[in-house]
Amino acid sequence: MGQVVFLSFPRRRESRYLKLDSRLRGNDKYNKMSTIYILWLRQLKRYVRSKQRMFASLAQPLLFLFAFGFGFGSTFAKAGEGSYIQFLAPGIIAMTVMFTAVFSGIEIIWDKQFGFLKETLVAPVSRFNIMLGRTLGGTTVAFIQGIIVLLITLLAGFKPALSGVPLAIVFMFLLALFFTAFGTMIASKLDDMQSFPLIINFLVMPLFFLSGALFPIVGLPTVFNIIVHANPLSYAVDGIRGALIGQHVFSFGLDALILFVIAFVCLYIGAEFFKRIQA
């Protein structure tokens, strides 16, 4: 159930991202913002230019949405829980954001193997700014994918509360930031591209299935209840679902606080790991 990743890195186009203007070196503040912006923009351009990646990454969430949504819809309705599409759609949106964000980390390993990362690290800029720019780029891409899936769920019959969409967008962004930083943290310690998806699937798939994305988390056995409450993805799913359909277990404040703290911790640890990469 891994994320399908298509990588397309034209060397000539990317070489210009390495040419930081010497005039910026005298202005530290502008230099920092320029570094972050250039690497953020690089991630976005890479995403837009890879049409295969854009469409292939939608395959898994659409499969879950239509197969589970319509396959278990009648069972869910007979249990007196209403429309399963209404319940499932926020979980599928969270799944899309999570997988897109965490698998962006594989690009670090790719850049390690093909020398682009080395050329970036020896540039006269902070490694933290390099990592932050890449992370924000991956966050933005995952966020865009989540918005696309949100629009697709409308075609499947999902009817969100429009007043809750801005709040859902906040939770989607925090979720994307958390898992992009998490993917960066893992990728910074790896050199083997084949091992990355295996490790990520081993860590992320249990988080997804035990987050309440596919089933209600009320009335679970004690052991599962403890696991669900310890799962940070549960709070993202709960926040998005609560914002879009008004059905949530935790408070919005708790959901946002957990995601913000976890995202900050992963960003900090990821930055420390990234600084230790050998140029």
Other beta carbons within 10 angstroms of residue 202's beta carbon come to 9
- Is 36 part of a structural domain of the chain? yes
Distance CA 84, CA 215 (A): 9
pLDDT in tens, 189-244: 888 888 888 888 898 999 999 998 888 888 888 898 899 999 999 999 999 999 99
- Is 183 part of a structural domain of the chain? yes
Q: Which residue has the higher pLDDT, 32 or 251?
A: 251
At residue 8 the predicted structure's pLDDT band, cuts being 50, 70 and 90, is: very low
Q: Residue 251: its pLDDT value, please?
A: 92
Q: Residue 9: its pLDDT value, please?
A: 45
- Is 20 part of a structural domain of the chain? no
At residue 22 the predicted structure's pLDDT band, cuts being 50, 70 and 90, is: very low
Contact 228, 210 (CB under 8 A): yes
Average pLDDT over residues 62-79: 77
Q: Residue 235: its pLDDT value, please?
A: 94
C-alpha dist (Å) from residue 157 to 8, 33, 34, 83, 171: 35, 42, 43, 10, 22
Q: Residue 112: its pLDDT value, please?
A: 79
Average pLDDT over residues 259-263: 94
Where does the chain have alpha helices with state H? 11-15, 28-49, 51-56, 59-63, 69-71, 73-78, 84-102, 106-114, 116-121, 127-155, 165-187, 195-209, 222-230, 232-245, 252-275
CA 137, 198, 210: angle at the middle one, nearest 5?
80
Average pLDDT over residues 83-100: 91
Distance CA 144, CA 146 (A): 5
Average pLDDT over residues 35-64: 84
Could you report how far apart the first and last alpha carbons of the chain are, in Å?
Answer: 33
- Is 156 part of a structural domain of the chain? yes
Q: Residue 180: its pLDDT value, please?
A: 94
Q: Is the pLDDT of residue 188 over 70?
A: yes
Distance CA 269, CA 279 (A): 19
Q: Which residue has the higher pLDDT, 159 or 191?
A: 159
Contact 22, 56 (CB under 8 A): no
Q: Which residue has the higher pLDDT, 56 or 202?
A: 202
Range of the domain at 78: 26-275
Contact 243, 228 (CB under 8 A): no
Q: Residue 149: its pLDDT value, please?
A: 93
- Is 8 part of a structural domain of the chain? no
Average pLDDT over residues 158-176: 93
- Is 5 part of a structural domain of the chain? no
Q: Domain count of the chain?
A: 1
Q: How much is the mean pLDDT over the chain? A: 83
Stretch among 4-8, 132-136, 202-206 having the lowest mean pLDDT: 4-8
- Is 250 part of a structural domain of the chain? yes
The 8 Å CB, 24+ separation contacts for 227-232 are: 231/207, 232/178, 232/207, 232/258, 232/259, 232/262
Q: Residue 279: its pLDDT value, please?
A: 59
- Is 43 part of a structural domain of the chain? yes
